[in-house]
């Protein structure tokens, strides 16, 4: 527990992403089983102890600290876990002896129920120093809020043992804490974990922005880039799961898709909901807003299933039955997908049609003419490209339609004024100054306070309050968890910002609740849009 | 007819007024006659007609505020007679070099004003002395039960470990230029750190003043006189205001540390971009504040500045009479 508490404490004070990766990697290398696995589970948010709530811990203080002194302290410190860790009465004399290991702590926390938790927790807290108590309470109540995302923890794992993060992500959902098989493979040179029986996630193939590049349509196929959320639908041994771009399992949110694949496999597509907003030959999809009503829900009402049923517009086939197609060229996979599509229920699947054009100029004209909201732009896929995790130059391009759009990461929020004075409604967002998986940092590129509905504002305000890292007067620094699709008229060089860029009339185009922050755009992508 | 008890001592937002003597304790505006507890800017300032303080405090004030006129030195333990039949005695407060509590006696009534104080041992100044009194006027900078300063040896060990773990870097310690900086240096020497310590230019004169008053700070060097590579593996001391400025670019990959009681709270440390928080304060922590009130056992406690609400509550719970004074301009974020 001591090493884990020290790790958490050090992470709190570390701002550099690269340094965070090193600290976690070092901990994972130097710690034995099963502690390191539990630590990894804690950092990736996989642990849940329903018997211990924030209120459980607060109630413990009621018998130990005067309520007025508690409130004054809590208000000053700003964090319940930290306040408890500081106020917990220590026995006089030396630091506690023989603190429990992380595994022993987890074992005890797992065994608790709502009745035993208030009786058992004090004994555990007595065995720890202030740092240990902070770590214990964060661990027990969930939500570390120390600026570590699941993706960052997985990247640190990959760095610790020199394996690829894509492999880690692929095994991840098939394994459970404390991930003995994962460590046996990565750390101790054992066989890769056997994950064949589980419908697991495969990292997505991603595209680069096209920018100034022109491609030959003999080599590249074009298709619409749809405005839904990119998903992977996987079935193994009859069990189906849905994964988002970040590899989160979102099966529970879309139950109507869980028994519609007639065979095992892994397909890549855009999740959309039926609606009348955009009809037309390729349409039948409602606006992104309609889809948003369905995101992030743990339970789905019958009404919702009837009014906004989801379907998948298929892009690609990774696996069909026993056959892994990822090494095959896109044209072969496309052929297989089209053949498969005929056997799929049209109620839940359709096919993303290819866009036929005489040449690149013709394609540019077609793109200009596309006015449907459900279309974000075009995708250009090299006909001979295998399906490779991540972004590889020259294989896939995205060619978003005008105006200028960029994916930014929310960094700071400021309270508005007037009607909005109690809301954090002005958002500062940033782009990466390099490859985020290679230790890049975010640099602020702009600020916007419009482009969202009142309902979205409420949700954003809540997120800001829940993920606050720092307060500077009316400004809060937040954990990097949210991507904004920002639309703007132009971008210019500027000395005012550290990024050296300033946007003209930026506003929030869409809130990408589904998109992982490391897929936010890089500064270079924004710089490429300068038309000075 | 006799005056109401203690009506001769009157708190105002800009200082405590001793009516029969018409002089002020730690006034934040210019007055004819000031009794000053110690040299920090929220207690001491220039421009008074006469300033009564310990010789060390007067030397500090001369250095910082260029005050030379009207300086009246008082030694620790010495009593001076003020007009109107008020006696003032200066007693060590253990806060910084020269810091004093002031005991005021008038018409058989005793009032102690602590200024700022702490109870921990400090190699750079004389230790706090408990002085019985009727009214005890105390600070409350760290007047919340979350503030418990750990033993300073623990914090020194943290600092020295960061130094040995990162031999190619340096550790930049933000410390208040009067008191904190010298205490950190002296404690580093006590912990056996004999290497030269590098100073920001703003620290130099005050460190020299401490040395002239017999405080051993070992070998000190100025950052400005040395190349970046010379400072690898060294400790650099700078005022907190200099930490994230262009000045720090001349240092070899510094680890940012900060010596302050506020470092007990993570949010405070993060707000300032501190990587290595060192919980070191020249103020009494919660336990020292409450212990001191118990030790002094006054008839009434007045609380001047800081988190007075919580200390008031403690007094209430302990069935002690207390009131808060609303003094302005007394909050030192760097302490």
How would DSSP label each residue in A239-288? EEEEEETT--B-GGG-GGGTT--SSSEEEEEEEEEEEEEE-STT--E--H
Question: Poorest-confidence range of A382-396, A412-426, A441-455?
Answer: A412-426
Q: Note whether ipTM > 0.85 here.
A: yes
Angle between helices A130-141 and A2-12 (to 10 degrees): 80
Which chain A residues have a beta carbon less than 8 Å from that of B262? Answer: none
Mean pLDDT, all residues of chain B: 93
- Cβ contact (<8 Å) for A13 and B307? no
pLDDT of residue A289: 62
> Which value, in Å, is the radius of gyration of the alpha carbons in chain A?
25
Question: Is the CB of B319 inside 8 Å of chain A's CB atoms?
Answer: no
Is residue A436 predicted with pLDDT exceeding 80?
yes
Most confident of A1-15, A240-254, A368-382, B211-225: B211-225
Which chain B residues have a beta carbon less than 8 Å from that of A83? Answer: 146
Average pLDDT over residues A203-221: 91
Min Cα–Cα distance to chain B from A76, Å: 9
Q: Are A41 and A180 in contact (CB under 8 A)?
A: no
Average pLDDT over residues B297-308: 90
Average pLDDT over residues A271-288: 63
pLDDT of residue A417: 61
The residue in chain A having the minimum alpha-carbon distance to the alpha carbon of residue B144 is A73
Torsion of CA A150, A152, A153, A156, to 10 degrees: 160
Percentage of residues in chain A having pLDDT higher than 90: 60
Q: What is the pLDDT of residues B124-181, one digit of tens each?
A: 999 999 999 999 999 999 999 999 999 999 999 999 999 999 999 999 999 999 999 9
Cα distances (angstroms) measured from residue A314 to each of A254, A329, B17, B325 = 16, 17, 82, 71
Question: Is the CB of A78 inside 8 Å of chain B's CB atoms?
Answer: yes
Is residue A290 predicted with pLDDT exceeding 90?
no
pLDDT of residue A492: 79
Q: What is the pLDDT of residues A494-526, one digit of tens each?
A: 777 788 888 878 999 999 998 999 999 999 999
For residue B144, give the nearest of A14, A72, A471 by CB distance: A72
The rounded distance, in Å, linking the Cα atoms of A95 and A130 is 10
Min Cα–Cα distance to chain B from A234, Å: 42
- Phi, psi (deg, nearest 5) at residue A526: -75, -40
The rounded distance, in Å, linking the Cα atoms of B206 and B202 is 8
Question: Is the CB of A12 inside 8 Å of chain B's CB atoms?
Answer: yes
Is residue A477 predicted with pLDDT exceeding 60?
yes
pLDDT of residue B100: 98
Is residue B194 predicted with pLDDT exceeding 90?
yes
Question: Poorest-confidence range of A117-121, A347-351, A500-504?
Answer: A500-504
Q: Assess whether the previous peptide bond of B254 is cis (omega < 30° from 0).
A: no
- Across the A:B interface, residue pairs with CB atoms under 8 Å apart total 59
pLDDT of residue B320: 96
Percentage of residues in chain B having pLDDT higher than 70: 96
Is residue B306 predicted with pLDDT exceeding 90?
no
Is residue A183 predicted with pLDDT exceeding 50?
yes
Confidence band of A282 (pLDDT split at 50, 70, 90): very low
Question: Is the CB of B166 inside 8 Å of chain A's CB atoms?
Answer: no
Residue A373 vs residue A481, higher pLDDT: A481
pLDDT of residue A503: 85
- Cβ contact (<8 Å) for B146 and A472? no
**Angle value at C-alpha B44, between B40 and B48, nearest 5 degrees:** 165
Confidence band of A334 (pLDDT split at 50, 70, 90): very high
pLDDT of residue B291: 98
- Phi, psi (deg, nearest 5) at residue A317: -120, 120
Average pLDDT over residues B26-38: 96
The rounded distance, in Å, linking the Cα atoms of B233 and A371 is 62
Mean pLDDT, all residues of chain A: 89
Average pLDDT over residues B54-66: 95
Is residue A265 predicted with pLDDT exceeding 90?
yes
Is residue A118 predicted with pLDDT exceeding 80?
yes
Average pLDDT over residues A141-152: 79
- Cβ contact (<8 Å) for A13 and B310? no
pLDDT of residue A418: 52
- Cβ contact (<8 Å) for B313 and A69? yes
Question: Is the CB of A212 inside 8 Å of chain B's CB atoms?
Answer: no
The residue in chain A having the minimum alpha-carbon distance to the alpha carbon of residue B286 is A87
Question: Is the CB of A72 inside 8 Å of chain B's CB atoms?
Answer: yes
Average pLDDT over residues A208-221: 90
Percentage of residues in chain A having pLDDT higher than 70: 94
pLDDT of residue B234: 97
- Cβ contact (<8 Å) for A77 and B146? yes
pLDDT of residue A281: 43
The residue in chain A having the minimum alpha-carbon distance to the alpha carbon of residue B162 is A10
**Angle value at C-alpha B70, between B68 and B73, nearest 5 degrees:** 90
CA dihedral over A444, A450, A452, A455, signed as positive or negative: positive
Cα distances (angstroms) measured from residue A195 to each of A168, A184, A255 = 12, 14, 23
Cα distances (angstroms) measured from residue B85 to each of A176, B18, B54, B80 = 80, 11, 21, 10
The rounded distance, in Å, linking the Cα atoms of A325 and A316 is 10
Within 10 angstroms of residue A433's Cβ, the number of other Cβ atoms is: 16
Reduced to 3 states, what is the DSSP secondary structure of residue B283?
coil
The rounded distance, in Å, linking the Cα atoms of B126 and B97 is 7
């Amino acid at each position: 527990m001591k090493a884990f508490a020290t790790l958490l404490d050090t992470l709190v004070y570390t701002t550099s992403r690269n340094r965070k990766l090193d600290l976690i990697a070092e901990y994972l290398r130097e710690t034995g089983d099963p502690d390191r696995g539990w630590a990894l589970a804690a950092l990736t948010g996989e642990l849940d102890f329903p018997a211990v709530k924030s209120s459980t811990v607060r109630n413990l203080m009621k018998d130990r600290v005067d309520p007025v002194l508690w409130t004054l302290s809590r208000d000053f410190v700003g964090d319940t876990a930290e306040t408890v860790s500081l106020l917990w009465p220590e026995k006089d004399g030396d630091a506690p002896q023989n603190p429990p290991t992380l595994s022993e702590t987890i074992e005890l926390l797992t065994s608790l129920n709502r009745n035993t938790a208030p009786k058992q927790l004090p004994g555990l807290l007595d065995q720890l120093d202030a740092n240990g108590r902070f770590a214990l309470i964060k661990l027990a109540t969930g939500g570390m809020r120390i600026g570590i995302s699941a993706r960052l923890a997985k990247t640190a794992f990959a760095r610790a043992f020199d394996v690829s993060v894509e492999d880690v992500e692929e095994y991840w959902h098939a394994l459970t804490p404390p991930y003995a098989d994962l460590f046996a493979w990565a750390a101790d040179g054992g066989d890769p974990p056997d994950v064949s029986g589980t419908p697991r996630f495969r990292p997505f193939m991603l595209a680069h922005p096209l920018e100034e590049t022109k491609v030959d349509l003999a080599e590249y196929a074009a298709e619409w880039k749809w405005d839904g959320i990119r998903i992977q639908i996987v079935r193994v041994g009859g069990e189906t799961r849905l994964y988002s771009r970040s590899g989160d399992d979102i099966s529970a949110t879309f139950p109507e898709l869980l028994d519609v694949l007639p065979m095992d496999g892994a397909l890549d597509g855009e999740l959309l909901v039926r609606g009348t907003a955009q009809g037309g030959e390729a349409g039948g999809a409602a606006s992104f807003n309609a889809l948003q009503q369905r995101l992030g829900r743990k339970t789905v009402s019958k009404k919702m299933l009837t009014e906004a049923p989801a379907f998948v517009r298929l892009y690609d086939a990774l696996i069909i039955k026993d056959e892994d197609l990822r090494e095959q060229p896109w044209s072969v996979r496309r052929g297989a997908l089209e053949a498969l599509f005929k056997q799929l229920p049209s109620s839940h699947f359709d096919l993303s049609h290819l866009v036929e054009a005489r040449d690149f100029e013709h394609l540019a004209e077609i793109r200009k003419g596309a006015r449907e909201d459900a279309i974000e732009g075009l995708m250009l896929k090299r006909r001979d490209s295998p399906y490779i995790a991540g972004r590889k130059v020259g294989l896939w391009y995205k060619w978003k339609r005008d105006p200028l759009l960029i994916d930014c990461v929310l960094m700071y929020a400021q309270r508005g004024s007037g009607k909005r004075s109690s809301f954090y409604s002005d958002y500062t967002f940033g782009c990466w100054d390099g490859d985020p998986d290679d230790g890049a940092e975010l640099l602020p590129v702009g600020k916007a306070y419009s482009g969202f509905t009142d309902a979205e504002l409420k949700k954003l305000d809540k997120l800001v309050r829940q993920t606050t890292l720092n307060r500077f007067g009316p400004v809060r620094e937040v954990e990097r968890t949210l991507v904004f699709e920002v639309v703007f008229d132009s971008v210019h060089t500027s000395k005012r910002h550290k990024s050296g860029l300033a946007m003209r009339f930026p506003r929030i185009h869409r809130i990408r609740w589904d998109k992982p922050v490391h897929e936010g755009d890089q500064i270079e992508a924004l710089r490429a849009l300068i038309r000075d | 007819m006799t005056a109401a008890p203690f009506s001769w001592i009157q708190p105002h937002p800009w200082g405590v007024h001793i009516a029969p003597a018409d002089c002020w304790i730690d006034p934040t505006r210019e007055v004819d006659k000031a009794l000053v507890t110690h040299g920090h800017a929220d207690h001491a300032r220039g421009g008074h007609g006469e300033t009564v303080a310990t010789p060390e405090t007067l030397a500090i004030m001369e250095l910082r505020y260029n005050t030379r006129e009207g300086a009246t030195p008082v030694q620790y333990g010495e009593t001076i007679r003020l007009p109107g039949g008020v006696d003032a005695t200066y007693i060590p407060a253990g806060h910084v070099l020269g810091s004093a509590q002031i005991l005021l006696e008038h018409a058989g009534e005793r009032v102690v004003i602590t200024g700022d104080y702490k109870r921990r041992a400090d190699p750079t100044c004389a230790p706090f002395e408990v002085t019985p009194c009727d009214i005890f006027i105390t600070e409350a900078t760290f007047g919340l039960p979350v503030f418990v300063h750990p033993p300073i040896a623990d914090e020194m060990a943290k600092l020295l470990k960061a130094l040995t773990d990162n031999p190619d870097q340096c550790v930049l310690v933000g410390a208040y230029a009067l008191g904190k900086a010298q205490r950190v240096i002296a404690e580093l020497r006590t912990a056996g750190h004999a290497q030269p310590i590098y100073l920001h230019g703003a620290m130099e004169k005050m460190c020299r003043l401490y040395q002239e008053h017999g405080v051993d700070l070992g070998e000190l060097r100025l950052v400005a006189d040395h190349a970046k590579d010379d400072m690898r593996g060294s400790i650099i001391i700078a005022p907190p205001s200099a930490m994230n400025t262009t000045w720090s670019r001349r240092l070899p990959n510094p680890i940012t540390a900060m010596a302050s009681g506020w470092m007990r709270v993570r949010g405070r440390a993060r707000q300032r971009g501190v990587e290595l928080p060192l919980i070191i304060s020249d103020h009494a922590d919660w336990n020292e504040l409450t212990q001191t009130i118990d030790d002094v056992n006054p008839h009434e406690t007045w609380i001047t500045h800081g988190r007075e609400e919580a200390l008031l509550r403690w007094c209430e719970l302990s069935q002690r009479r207390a009131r808060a004074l609303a003094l302005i301009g007394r909050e030192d974020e760097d302490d």
